[in-house]
Amino acid sequence: MKFNTKIPEPIGFQLAPMLDVVFLLLIFFVVTQKFILNEQDLKVKVPTAPKSTEETSRAIDEIIINAREEDGELIITIDREVFTREKLYAMLQRMIGVNPNQPVRIRGDAQMSWQRMADVISTCSQAGVWNVSFSKQMPEAKKK
C-alpha cells in the first residue's frame, strides 16, 4: 500500500512582523521618555557641602528654581524664563492647586546674600509649597 504524504514546506522565520513590533516599541519609548535633565542657569554656582554626594536623581515633575543676585537684584529663573517674586508666587500657587505635594528644588548661588535666598524660600512657603529641597555640590577635591 502506498501512502501519499506531502512533506510540508519548512516554516520560515517571519522577520517583517518582528521588525514592525520592534520599531513600534522603539517609537513608543522614545516618545514617552521624559528627559530628566536638571535645568540649570549656568551663572548659578551652587554652594558646596563637605559630606554631600552627587545629585543624580530628582523627583518626577520637580520644579527647579534658579536664584542668583546680579547688581543687587534678585534674578529668579525657571526653564530659562525670568520670574519676579509675584510671578513665582502665582505660578507656584497654580501648581499647588493641581498637585499639593509639588516638589521644588532651589538652586541658589553660593555668593548670593542669605536675605535673597530667604526671599525665595518665603515666596515658596507663602504659595503653599512644603516639599522643598536645595541643590549643593561636592567640594572640588572630593569630586576626583
- Classify residue 99: in a domain, yes or no: yes
Read off the pLDDT band of 35 (50, 70, 90): low
In a domain? residue 132: yes
Residue 95 has pLDDT above 90, yes or no: yes
Edge-to-edge strands, sheet with 132-134 = 81-83, 73-78, 63-70, 104-108, 132-134
Residue 40: predicted pLDDT: 63
Q: What is the pTM of this model?
A: 0.64
* Torsion from C-alpha of 58, 62, 63, 68, nearest 10 degrees: -20
Residue 14 domain-assigned (yes or no): no
Instruction: Give the mean model confidence (pLDDT) for residues 46-54.
Output: 67
In 3D space, the residue among 62, 70, 73, 71 whose CA is nearest the CA of residue 106 turns out to be 62
What would the mean pLDDT of 119-136 be, rounded to a whole number? 91
- For residue 104, give its domain range: 63-143
Mean pLDDT of the chain: 82
What pLDDT sits at residue 91?
94
DSSP structure class, residue 139: -
Say if 123 falls within a structural domain: yes
The answer to whether residue 112 sits within a structural domain is yes
**Count of domains in the chain?**
1
Burial of 63 (0-12, 13-18, 19+ CB in 10 A): buried
CATH code of the domain covering residue 101:
3.30.420.270
Write out the DSSP string of 71-112. Answer: TTEEEEEETTEEE-HHHHHHHHHHHHHH-TT--EEEEE-TTS
35, part of any domain? no
Residue 52 lies in a domain: no
Whether residue 15 is contained in a domain is answered as no
Give the pLDDT confidence score for residue 141 in this predicted structure: 60
Per-residue DSSP letter, 112: S
